[in-house]
Amino acid sequence: MHDTKLHRSSHKTVDIIEKVIFFSIVLFSFFLFCICVYNRTLLLSHFSVGFLQSFMIVACTTPFIIRLAKKYNVVDVPDERKHHICPTPLLGGVGIFISFTLGVLLNTSLGPEVTSIVVGGSIIFVLGVLDDIVGLSSTVRLIGQVAAALMVISSGLVVTFTPDTWWGNGLGIAVTIIWILGIVNTLNFADGVDGLATGIAVIAAIFFALISSSSGHYEVSLIAIMVIGAGVGFLFFNFKPAKIYLGDSGSTFLGFVLASVALFGQWSDKGPVIALGIPVLILGLLIFDMCYITVSRVISGRVTTVKEWLDYTGRDHFHHRLLDLGLSERQTVVFMYSTCFILGLSALVLESSANQFYIIALVLQATGMLLNVSVLMIVGRNLASSREMLSRELRTEKILIDVFNNNVAGENAFLVEDLSEHAHMNVAEEQKQVVTSVAGDVDNP
């Protein structure tokens, strides 16, 4: 009893400390924001204002969104595939969308590219909110995501490594749609552990901001900084134990923005290979996870169409495999954060490297890391399969034991009934003999 009270009091103390730290950071951020607004000549003040705006909007709106989601029962209910144990509010993407959109409108010039990202992101966000509240079919989600991708393509944001011919342009549009849909859904799939999807988005946005600012593409840097501020503000509520989840509205929106930023940036003037390699490295873990599970599911026959791919909810993603290997949720998140960070560093070095040898070395390094990831996924899959087989065998053994026990109980009941019958017959026979004997005595006095 005493230990329980002590545990509760320590838990309350930790909660109070967390709240004090959180509100201290919010106040300090507000103070920095006021300074930056007052004196725009401060170093990186424009970026600081964008970051602090996004951070403070998310930090201030998310507690109200949590209450709203609980009030209207917009929550993620636990099941055997999920790791949380109590219903957790969704709609975390609402605060992120508001902060990002306001930040972009207040701090950037609305050119066609930025406008297309905002409008396309709004389409993705509305679809995500509806999916969180009432649930949408994969067909409706697919149509909406393609419409948002076409919005971005209409502003001229397409992949640039295809030939400048009619078929090359058509191929470029198709690859761009696949790219956007892939990143959107892969980040959504990664939202299976507390803080994972948000943290991956923040890390990717950090490297997008660093590389684009070093190349003088400040508009892309600002958009990435809005994502960083919103993500960091949300992580206070989303890291384990999560008080709220991104939901489809948040994870798909962040994925769409990152995919669009990758298309928007002029990542290198040292050739198309480096320009393509930078965003691929930054989002490398997401891309690898998407490709690996897609190939695995198609080969095994679990999915045969895009609709089935969107509908499929298996436990075969990288974070599931790490959990199968015995890592805790926090360890899984930290491991994936570090992998994304190392790949981002490789992209940063690749952007500043002019030596062909270094470029080859970086490519080999990234390939080696992804091979290690694939080994972990295979080992995790085998362990999960072994556990599943063992569990199935134990269930089968239990069923057989129950059947055997039922049969034994039935045979015992039959034996008892048979003995009872014999006993009754013997008693009746004895009574009959007694009556016959008495009647004989009466007849022969």
Per-block mean pLDDT, blocks of 10 residues, the chain (445 long): 51 56 55 53 60 87 90 78 72 91 84 91 93 86 92 88 80 90 89 87 90 81 90 86 87 94 74 77 87 82 76 75 81 87 84 66 71 70 66 65 59 50 51 45 42
Question: What whole-number distance in Å separates Cα of residue 382 and Cα of residue 385?
Answer: 5
Distance, CA of 414 to CA of 443 (rounded, Å): 43
Residue 233 maps to a domain: yes
User: Can you give the pLDDT at residue 332?
Assistant: 86
438 in a structural domain: no
Length of the chain: 445
The residue from 270, 293, 322 where one domain ends is: 270
* 105, 238: one domain: yes
Question: Do 144 and 242 share a domain, yes or no?
Answer: yes
Nearest to 250 by CA among 288, 198, 214, 305: 198
pLDDT at 346: 84
Same domain? 115 vs 221: yes
**Domain membership flag for residue 329:** no
Residue 439 within a domain: no
Q: Which helix (H) or strand (E) holds 88?
A: strand 88-89
**91 and 137 part of one domain:** yes
Write down the pLDDT at residue 42: 45
pLDDT, residue 349, reads 80
Instruction: Examine residue 382 and state whether it is found in any structural domain, yes or no.
Output: no
- 270, 304, 330 - which closes a domain: 270
Considering the domain architecture, whether residues 94 and 215 belong to the same structural domain is answered as yes
Same domain, 171 and 72: yes
Question: Would you state the pLDDT for residue 90?
Answer: 85
pLDDT at res. 159:
83
Which of 213, 238, 270 lies at the terminal end of a domain, its last residue? 270
What DSSP assignment string belongs to 316-333? Answer: -SHHHHHHHTT--HHHHH
| pLDDT in the model for residue 36 | 52
Q: Is residue 102 domain-resident?
A: yes
Classify residue 227: in a domain, yes or no: yes
Same domain as 20, residue 78: no
The pLDDT value recorded for residue 439 is: 42
**Same domain? 203 vs 255:** yes
pLDDT at position 426 is 52
pLDDT given for residue 86 in this prediction: 75
- Residue among 209, 350, 156 at smallest CA distance from 271: 350
Do 139 and 197 have their domain in common?
A: yes
Domain count of the fold of the chain: 2
Domain of residue 239 covers 46-270
* Same domain, residue pair 87 and 36: no
Answer left, alpha or beta for residue 247, where phi above 0 means left and psi between -120 and 50 means alpha: left
Query: Cβ neighbours of residue 245 under 8 Å, at least 6 residues apart?
Result: 76, 88, 89, 90, 92, 191, 238
**Quick one: 286 exposed, middle or buried, by C-beta within 10 A (0-12, 13-18, 19+)?**
buried
Q: Give yes or no: residues 144 and 216 share one domain.
A: yes
Same domain, yes or no: 143 and 225:
yes
In a domain, 115, yes or no: yes
- Locate the DSSP E strands across 29-82: 75-76
